[in-house]
C-alpha cells in the first residue's frame, strides 16, 4: 500500500479520519501545560488537524511548526487560526524535512507509517532535534493492523528501536489517555543522544 499524499488526502476528503479526536488530547495537553518556555521551537509531524498546534499557539507558543503530507488539514488549521504563521505550515513529506527543533510532539504519526520505515523514522527524529532535544508523545501499545494504518507495536519493540539514538526517560502506559485509548498507549519522553 502506497501511503502517499493521495492516500491521506482521500481519507480527509471521504471523512475516514477515525484518528481525529477533535480536541487537544489529554496526554499532550498535560505535557504542554507544564512547559514554561514559550520560545521553544516545536515540530508536530503528521499533525493532521492539529488541535495540539492550536492549543500551543493560543497559549503563546509562536515557534510551532506543523508538517503534513496532505494539504487539507493544514488548510483546516489555517481556517481556525488565520494568523498562524504560513511559513510554519509545512506541506511536505516528513522524511524530506531538514531543520532542527527543541521539541517534537508525536501522536498517531508513528502508527501511520509503514513499519518498514520505523528505523528511518527514529533516525530522522534524531536528525531533526537539536542537542538535548526531546521527542515526546504517545505510541500505541497494542498490535492493531498488519496491512494498513494504524500499525501497532509494543513497549519492548519500541525500546530496542529507540534506545540507540535516544535516552528513554519515560515509556509508560499513559495515565491520562482519552477514554477510547485508555490502557492502549504509552506516554514517551525521549532525549536525543549525542552523536
Ligand X SMILES: C[S@@+](CC[C@H](N)C(=O)[O-])C[C@H]1O[C@@H](n2cnc3c(N)ncnc32)[C@H](O)[C@@H]1O
Binding letters toward ligand X, positions 167-186, x by CB under 6 A? --------------------
Asked whether 62 and 81 are in contact (CB, 8 A), the reply is no
Which of 84, 94, 121, 158 binds ligand X (CB under 6 A)? It is 94
Q: How far is the CB of 90 from ligand X (least distance, A)?
A: 8
Asked whether 55 and 33 are in contact (CB, 8 A), the reply is no
The cell numbers describing 18, all together, are 477515525
Judged by beta carbon, residue 48 or residue 153, the one nearer ligand X is 48
Which of 104, 112, 122, 190 binds ligand X (CB under 6 A)? It is 112
| φ and ψ at residue 133, rounded to 5 degrees | -65, 160
Q: Which stretch binds ligand X (CB under 6 A): 58-66, 87-95, 122-130, 166-174?
A: 87-95
Q: How far is the CB of 102 from ligand X (least distance, A)?
A: 19
Q: Which 56-85 residues touch ligand X, going by CB under 6 A?
A: 67-70, 73
How many whole angstroms separate alpha carbon 68 and alpha carbon 12?
Answer: 12
Q: Which 118-157 residues touch ligand X, going by CB under 6 A?
A: none
How many whole angstroms separate alpha carbon 10 and alpha carbon 150?
Answer: 16
- What 3-state class would DSSP assign to 127? helix
Q: How far is the CB of 40 from ligand X (least distance, A)?
A: 19
- What 3-state class would DSSP assign to 145? strand
How many whole angstroms separate alpha carbon 85 and alpha carbon 27?
Answer: 25
Residues that bind ligand X (CB under 6 A): 3, 8, 19-20, 46-49, 67-70, 73, 93-95, 107-109, 112
Amino acid at each position: 500500500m502506497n501511503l502517499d499524499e493521495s492516500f491521506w488526502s482521500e481519507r480527509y476528503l471521504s471523512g475516514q479520519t477515525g484518528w481525529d479526536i477533535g480536541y487537544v488530547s489529554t496526554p499532550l495537553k498535560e505535557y504542554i501545560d507544564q512547559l514554561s518556555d514559550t520560545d521553544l521551537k516545536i515540530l508536530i509531524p503528521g499533525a493532521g488537524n492539529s488541535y495540539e498546534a492550536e492549543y500551543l499557539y493560543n497559549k503563546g507558543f509562536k515557534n510551532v511548526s506543523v508538517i503534513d503530507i496532505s494539504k487539507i488539514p493544514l488548510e483546516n488549521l489555517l481556517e481556525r487560526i488565520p494568523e498562524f504563521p504560513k511559513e510554519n505550515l509545512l506541506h511536505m513529506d516528513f522524511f524530506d524535512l531538514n531543520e532542527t527543533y527543541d521539541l517534537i510532539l508525536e501522536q498517531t504519526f508513528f502508527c501511520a507509517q509503514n513499519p518498514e520505515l520505523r528505523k528511518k523514522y527514529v533516525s530522522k527524529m534524531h536528525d531533526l532535534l537539536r542537542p538535548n532535544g526531546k521527542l515526546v508523545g504517545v505510541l500505541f501499545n497494542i498490535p492493531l493492523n498488519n496491512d494498513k494504518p494504524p500499525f501497532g507495536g509494543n513497549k519492548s519493540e519500541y525500546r530496542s528501536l529507540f534506545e540507540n539514538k535516544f535516552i528513554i526517560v519515560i515509556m509508560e502506559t499513559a495515565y491520562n489517555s482519552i477514554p477510547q485509548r485508555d490502557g492502549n498507549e504509552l506516554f514517551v519522553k525521549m532525549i536525543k543522544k549525542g552523536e
